[in-house]
Amino acid sequence: MSLTMLPLILLLRSHLIEEVTYTSSGMRHSGHYDLSQTGHLRDLSIPTILCFKNINELIILNLSYLQTENQLKAEKSNMTTITEFVLLGFSDIPNGQWILFGIFLVIYLTVLMCNSIIILITRIDPGLQTPMYFFLNNFSFLEICYVTATVPRMLMDLLTQKGNISLVACATQMCFVLMFGASECLLLTVMAYDRYVAICNPLHYPLVMNHKVCVQLAIASWVIGVPVGIGHICQIFSLPFCGSNRINHFFCDLPPVLKLACGDTFPKEIAVYIAAVLVLMVPFLLIVVSYGKIIANIVKISSASGRGKAFSTCSSHLIVVVLFYGTATITYLQPKSDHSEGTGKVISLFYTIFIPTLNPIIYTLRNKDIMMALRKLSKLLR
């Protein structure tokens, strides 16, 4: 069949290619069209010349573009079909699910009971109506909130042996964990400042740390955590998620969720890293400065009993700071490439469950005032 001229209209990558003309002996095509495989439209005002020996070559070219188009559509479909994640939790220990459920249930109830007792005695005991115990009251309530953001969901997954969680539920859980975590960092800093004023400037302590100032510092610690949590969520969940939806963790923590994001995640990772440095390291440096001045002041005290008494008032807080910041720093400031999922899960267990369990014990056993208040409370209950 001999054709002198034949018009063709091709639709490649959803862009209409202008009219094509060719001859049977050899084809010469000139037109304004898009051959980009990147999805970006070229300047259609620039003419492009292509030569084809016969119509088969043109058909093959068209088919290759159609295949590319289908491939891209499939990838886009994969990116948009993820509507939920699957928390793997402790699925690698299938025979120990009920044992873990019992252990974590006991731990959760212990955290609730111990922190609730501290809140109660710091409210009702006249001898504990000081700024230090006011902040301890807030800290105990914050610990209850922090643990409640993760443990009930984990207990439900262990009980049902299903870890399905929607994107909205995952984002909500992560928001509360980050929000309460940031508030805890700030509250620990406020407690360090309180100890600094009490030990280094005792004469002005009642004036500097009056009730109004204490309330303002506590509110600031709670409120500042809110934009931190929401900001991180906006950064993470604005990314597309494709491929696997399985999170090797027992709750929606930031590092494992970020690993599932597609596309160029580097700018988001940098933003998250900078925010983590500000939230973790700035309060930590303030705590270090406060304790540096506290220690320098304690050393100047002549009597050994005076030094022991001064140090005992802040030793419990110092232990809690080391435990909390040690595990949180490893989790959120460790480079992504060096972050083992198994190790991250174990560390997360420490700062979300075990440390909140230890905190009431640390404050109770190392504080004579709280021990006396507990004895009074036990006598009243008899």
pLDDT 10s digits, 337-381: 555 666 778 888 888 888 888 888 888 776 788 888 888 888 777
Kindly state the average pLDDT of the residues 244-273.
85
Whether 174 and 250 have beta carbons less than 8 Å apart is answered as no
Whether 148 has a pLDDT exceeding 80, the answer reads yes
* Rounded (5°) CA angle 233-237-243: 145
Of the listed ranges 57-61, 241-245, 312-316, the least confidently predicted one is: 57-61
Element (H, E) at 126: none
Q: How far apart are CA 237 and CA 233, in angstroms?
A: 6
pLDDT for 145 equals: 95
Residue 143 has pLDDT above 50, yes or no: yes
Whether pLDDT at 24 is above 50: no
In terms of C-beta density within 10 A (0-12 exposed, 13-18 middle, 19 or more buried), how is residue 25 classed?
exposed
pLDDT band, residue 156 (cuts 50/70/90)? very high
Given a cut of 60, is residue 105 above it in pLDDT?
yes
For position 337, what pLDDT does the model report?
52
The DSSP element (H or E) to which 84 belongs, if any, is strand 84-87
Q: Are strands 246-247 and 164-166 parallel, antiparallel or unpaired?
A: unpaired
pLDDT at site 48: 43
Predicted pLDDT at 340: 63
End-to-end CA distance of the chain: 108
35 pLDDT above the threshold of 60 = no
Say what the pTM is. Answer: 0.75
Residue 42: per-residue pLDDT: 44
What is the crossing angle of helices 131-148 and 97-124, to 10°?
160
For residue 178, give Cα distances in angstroms to 2, 161, 229, 261, 280. Answer: 73, 26, 5, 19, 11
Interhelix angle for 97-124 vs 355-365, to 10°? 40
23-32, 68-77, 352-361: least confidently modelled range: 23-32
